[in-house]
């Protein structure tokens, strides 16, 4: 398996420059993973399939879904791609490389774990700042246009928010100067995580059922249902930051009520 990956990587670095791989390659990989992971949830919602696993009974209209896709394409090409291009010199300066040999799995795993922990910490505080009155009204409210999220709404946000919270995703790699392969793996995992958190479904096979402290869709869906002053659940991936700072009390109260068979309106939590 390792030799296959190395052979494929050798082909890439032979036929494409570092700039092409780091910028255009990263953008193509991001778009492919994001839309392949997110689009199925639109069709699930429209067809009503697996509805027993849907967290909210409300559905988004086709017009709202199409608006999201149109805006996403505009933001991705108008914001994400230029950021990738202009940040390339910074990552090269910080030590990013694409040459062989590829890093060992121990190095890759340790860096990915570090990125997830650091990203979650930075995202939590950045997200809480975005829920202050002025920033919510003028910036973060764009993301909350969808009170019933679906996979693609994970990246539906004001351009200023894309830049602000995007820092949480890139700060880890900027510190460590990883191999490009590690950076790609981190990007893929982060995209899959945020799409799953916004998908609107809690399945028996959802990661939050198996990984301790992992938030998942049920945890983040609660955040989207509430007004900015009462929301909580600010973390991106894990739940411990909200638990430590008490910003998940409403969510935990709702879960406790449901465990006793009592349904309550989360807006009253």
Spatial contact of 182 and 103, defined as CB atoms under 8 Å apart: yes
Distances (CA, A) of 124 to 85, 91, 143, 255: 27, 24, 16, 21
Q: Which of 107-116, 156-165, 186-195, 221-230 has the lowest mean pLDDT?
A: 221-230
Answer yes or no: is pLDDT of 156 > 60. Answer: yes
Q: 101: cis peptide before it, omega within 30°?
A: yes
Answer yes or no: is pLDDT of 75 > 60. Answer: yes
Confidence at 3, pLDDT banded by 50, 70, 90: confident
Instruction: Report the mean per-residue pLDDT for the chain.
Output: 94
Give the separation between CA 38 and CA 159, rounded to whole angstroms. Answer: 20
Give the separation between CA 156 and CA 143, rounded to whole angstroms. Answer: 6
Confidence at 61, pLDDT banded by 50, 70, 90: very high
Residues 218-255 as b/e (b if ≥16 CB within 10 A, e otherwise) read bbbbbbbbbebeebbbbbbbbbbbbeeeebbebbbebe
Confidence at 228, pLDDT banded by 50, 70, 90: low
* Predicted pLDDT of residue 231: 83
β-bridge mates for residue 216, sequence order: none
Spatial contact of 182 and 108, defined as CB atoms under 8 Å apart: yes
Please tell me whether residue 54 adopts helix, strand or coil conformation. strand
Answer yes or no: is pLDDT of 86 > 60. Answer: yes
pTM, two decimals, is 0.94
Confidence at 263, pLDDT banded by 50, 70, 90: low
pLDDT in tens, 181-192: 999 999 999 999
Spatial contact of 233 and 223, defined as CB atoms under 8 Å apart: yes
Answer yes or no: is pLDDT of 124 > 90. Answer: yes
Closest CA to 127 of 33, 267, 245, 40: 245
Structure token digits, residue 66: 């199409």
Confidence at 27, pLDDT banded by 50, 70, 90: very high
């Amino acid at each position: 398996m390792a030799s296959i990956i190395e052979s494929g990587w050798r082909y890439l670095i032979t036929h494409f420059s570092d700039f092409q791989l780091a910028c255009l390659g990263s953008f193509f990989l991001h778009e492919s993973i994001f839309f392949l992971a997110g689009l199925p949830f639109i069709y699930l919602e429209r067809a009503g399939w697996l509805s027993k696993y849907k967290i909210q009974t409300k559905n988004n209209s086709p017009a709202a879904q199409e608006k999201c896709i149109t805006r996403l394409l505009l933001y991705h090409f108008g914001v994400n791609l230029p950021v990738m291009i202009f940040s390339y010199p910074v990552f090269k300066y910080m030590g990013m490389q694409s040459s062989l040999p590829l890093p060992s799995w121990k190095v890759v795993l340790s860096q990915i774990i570090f990125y997830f922990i650091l990203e979650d910490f930075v995202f939590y505080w950045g997200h809480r700042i975005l829920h202050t009155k002025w920033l919510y009204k003028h910036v973060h409210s764009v993301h909350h246009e969808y009170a019933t999220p679906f996979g693609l709404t994970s990246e539906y946000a004001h351009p200023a928010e894309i830049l602000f919270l995007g820092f949480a995703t890139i700060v880890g790699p900027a510190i460590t100067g990883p191999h490009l392969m590690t950076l790609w793996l981190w990007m893929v995992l982060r995209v899959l995580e945020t799409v799953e958190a916004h998908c609107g479904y809690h399945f028996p096979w959802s990661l939050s059922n198996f990984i301790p402290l992992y938030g998942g869709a049920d945890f983040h869906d609660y955040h989207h249902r509430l007004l900015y002053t009462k929301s909580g659940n600010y973390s991106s991936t894990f739940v411990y930051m909200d638990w430590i700072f008490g910003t998940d009390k409403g969510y935990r109260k709702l879960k406790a009520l449901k465990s006793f068979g009592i349904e309550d309106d989360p807006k009253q939590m």
